[in-house]
Amino acid sequence: MLDDFLVRATLAGVGVAIAAAPLGCFVVWRRMAYFGDATAHAAILGVALSLALSTSVFTGALAVALIMALTVSMLTGRGYAMDTLLGVLAHSALAFGLVAVSFLKGVRVDLDAYLFGDILAVSKSDLAVIWSGAVLVLVLTIWRWSALLTSTLNPDLAYASGIDPKREQLVLTLGLAMVVAVAIKVIGALLIVALLIIPAASARPVTRTPEAMALCAAVIGVVSALLGLRASFLWDTPSGPTIVCVAAVIFLGTNLSARLGLGKL
């Protein structure tokens, strides 16, 4: 069954969507979209380094994405506005990554595959990495759900409850780096944040509780992946961008339904 490239692509899309959904909710609640964007852009530098060192792309992307996220966390509040800091680091890392790739001799690099994703080229080993990462992210999120939610809603309440918001920030950072690393082959560095925030933003107007929002976001992400792949196959369009387009249409639909007062889950 896994010898069929469409089956592998479908499983890869579903795995990434499920992993991205709950973290995407926290990205929306904490207004961290630019933070995720910076982490995703930095992953290109990780891809270049992994190819230069002949190591796993997943390992390189994860390492650099994690370093970027930790750097931003440490530098926050030290004289730079958050949007300025993220803008400098994100675009610098992306530029250094693209320049580093140009120095790789004898290595054929399809930049479009890493920038916009190449889900149809996912191999069995890629699938194993994607689902392993997705399971780790889900386990981490479920384990820290209550603490992450409390520190997101009210840091003072978190301190009073014995929860360190900075520690939970690091947990969220680790999860985001993991999602970026597993998603870069599927959706691409430039579209990863779209799959993080659009399903979550789509679920927000039609749900009443954080748990319902996370579950609804996962369903929307999976539906976007399935319909996007189907549309891509039928109309011969790029798979990654098509998945994001479907998610955007669903976002429009849920917001319209909320404005029409059709009820919440």
Helices 33-52 and 82-102 sit at what angle, rounded to 10 degrees?
20
Q: pLDDT value at position 109?
A: 65
- Show contacts of 201-205: CB within 8 Å, 24+ apart: 201/28, 201/251, 202/247, 202/250, 202/251, 202/253, 202/254, 202/255, 203/25, 203/254, 204/28, 205/254, 205/255, 205/257, 205/258, 205/264
**Contact assessment for residue 233 and residue 4, using Cβ atoms and an 8 Å cutoff:** no
Mean pLDDT of 120-130: 87
pLDDT digits (tens, 9 = 90+) for 235-245: 988 888 899 99
Tokens 């595959």 belong to residue: 113
**Contact assessment for residue 94 and residue 114, using Cβ atoms and an 8 Å cutoff:** no
Q: What three-state secondary structure class fits 262?
A: coil
State the CB neighbour count (10 A cutoff) for residue 30.
Answer: 14
Q: pLDDT value at position 82?
A: 66
Alpha helix positions (H), the chain = 5-29, 33-52, 57-75, 82-102, 111-116, 124-153, 155-160, 165-183, 192-203, 210-235, 239-259
pLDDT digits (tens, 9 = 90+) for 92-105: 888 888 888 777 77
CA angle 217, 148, 247 (to 5 degrees): 15
pLDDT digits (tens, 9 = 90+) for 59-76: 888 888 888 777 776 766
Q: Give the Cα separation of 63 and 47 in Å (integer).
A: 10
pLDDT digits (tens, 9 = 90+) for 127-136: 888 899 899 9
Q: What is the pTM of this model?
A: 0.89
pLDDT digits (tens, 9 = 90+) for 184-230: 878 888 788 888 999 999 999 999 899 999 999 999 999 999 999 99
Of the listed ranges 47-56, 77-86, 160-169, 194-203, the one predicted with least confidence:
77-86
Quick one: tokens of 229? 């792949």
Please state, rounded to an integer, the average pLDDT across all residues of the chain.
84
Domains (range + CATH), the chain: 5-193 (1.10.3470.10)
Residue 73 CA from chain centroid, whole number: 18
